[in-house]
Amino acid sequence: MTPVQLAELLLFPGLTFFVWLAFLFEWLERKTAARMQGRLGPVVAGPFGILQPVADFFKLASKEEIVPSESDPFVLRWGPALYFAAPAIGIAFIPVLGYQSVLYHPLDLLFMFFVLGFSTLMAGLLGYASAGRYATIAMGRLVVQYTSYEVPLLISMVTPAVLAGSLSLQGVAQAQAPLWYIFLAPMAFAVFILASLAELEKPPFDIPSASTEIVGGWMTEFSGNALAYVKLTKNLSYVFLSALAVTLFLGGAGGPVLTADSDVQALAYVCYFLLKLFAVGFLIFAIKTGLARVRIDQAAKVFWTVVTPLSLAQLALVILLR
């Protein structure tokens, strides 16, 4: 790996870029929720409170880390790092500078399936290893929810791949240059957003982290540095899933070519990408703030009886009309 590739992987458009986007997303989420509720939201940390998630992160990182006596200290020590690694690897495959991603493989869409599954597995493992009563209940709910939303999520991700005839994110993004797949497969996009809400544990599917029912969900026993990284990972997953939605349904970073200068054009591509990313983000914020939580059996029922058939119908439609 050359130094330039390493810099792309770690700085821009790789890890550092997306971690700051994750902080920005949490700030936007809190501000949007506050404005929808007639509040101001964070204002003191930095201009317009934009550094509030950063302050939260460094405050948590500087606090004492308590390891409960019944827990598994090895998993509690290294689990958050692995949990963080899942979306941190995933974002490297997202094409940001035009149709070029930092890491590439002809079958990298399949790797995204693994990343999404691994992230949920680590969440469940972390909750189970912390040995709290509420964390154990939350882990059970997480597994039930996972078995419900994973099938439609994967089917909705396969649909654009069938349309594009490619199993790489770059290929899918490139194939959308004439027409975005949100117009060709709108139901798949809707299913993807719904399943993303479940994957991110956001309302109406925040059942595994329902703070009015089971305290902090599977994060109940976490404190200090581990909690800081778990919270950061949740925000990074937020950005990662929004970026996947942009890549699979909204044409990736593609857009009008403005100049012949490739450097300036790369900047334009990054702007297109960010605009689409924030559009998807705001869609999720609005759904999340506006809806109340459903019960776990209702979530399972909705996903198995409505969302999964819908995603299968969309896939069949796409294969027939292709």
Partner 1 sequence: MASFRSGLTQWARKRSIWVFHVNAASCNGCDIEILAALTPRYDAERLGVELVPSPRHADVLLVTGTLNPLMRDRLKTVYEQMPEPRHVVAIGACALGGGVMKDCYNVGHGIDAAVPVDLYIPGCPPRPEAIIFGILKLVTGTPDPVMAGEAHVG
Q: Which residues of the shown chain bind partner 1 in the complex (CB under 8 A)?
A: 30, 34, 37-45, 49, 51-52, 54-60, 62-66, 211, 215-216, 219-224, 227
Smallest separation (angstroms) from partner 1 to the CB of 184:
41
The residue among 163 and 210 lying less far from partner 1, judged by its C-beta, is: 210
State how far the Cα of 15 lies from the Cα of 4, in Å rounded to an integer. Answer: 14
State how far the Cα of 38 lies from the Cα of 27, in Å rounded to an integer. Answer: 16
Cα dihedral 159→161→162→163 (10° resolution): 90
Smallest separation (angstroms) from partner 1 to the CB of 139:
15
Smallest separation (angstroms) from partner 1 to the CB of 46:
8
The residue among 207 and 318 lying less far from partner 1, judged by its C-beta, is: 207
Smallest separation (angstroms) from partner 1 to the CB of 232:
14
Other beta carbons within 10 Å of 186 = 12
Tokens 């994973």 -> residue: 150
Which ranges constitute the DSSP H helices of the chain?
A: 3-10, 15-36, 52-61, 73-90, 108-129, 133-164, 169-175, 181-184, 186-199, 224-249, 262-290, 296-302, 308-321
Tokens 């948590």 -> residue: 60
The residue among 69 and 262 lying less far from partner 1, judged by its C-beta, is: 69
The residue among 37 and 262 lying less far from partner 1, judged by its C-beta, is: 37
Smallest separation (angstroms) from partner 1 to the CB of 169:
35
The residue among 66 and 316 lying less far from partner 1, judged by its C-beta, is: 66
95 upstream amide cis, omega within 30 of 0: no
The residue among 65 and 300 lying less far from partner 1, judged by its C-beta, is: 65
How many whole angstroms from its chain centre is CA 277? 11
Smallest separation (angstroms) from partner 1 to the CB of 45:
4
Q: What is the DSSP letter of 294?
A: P
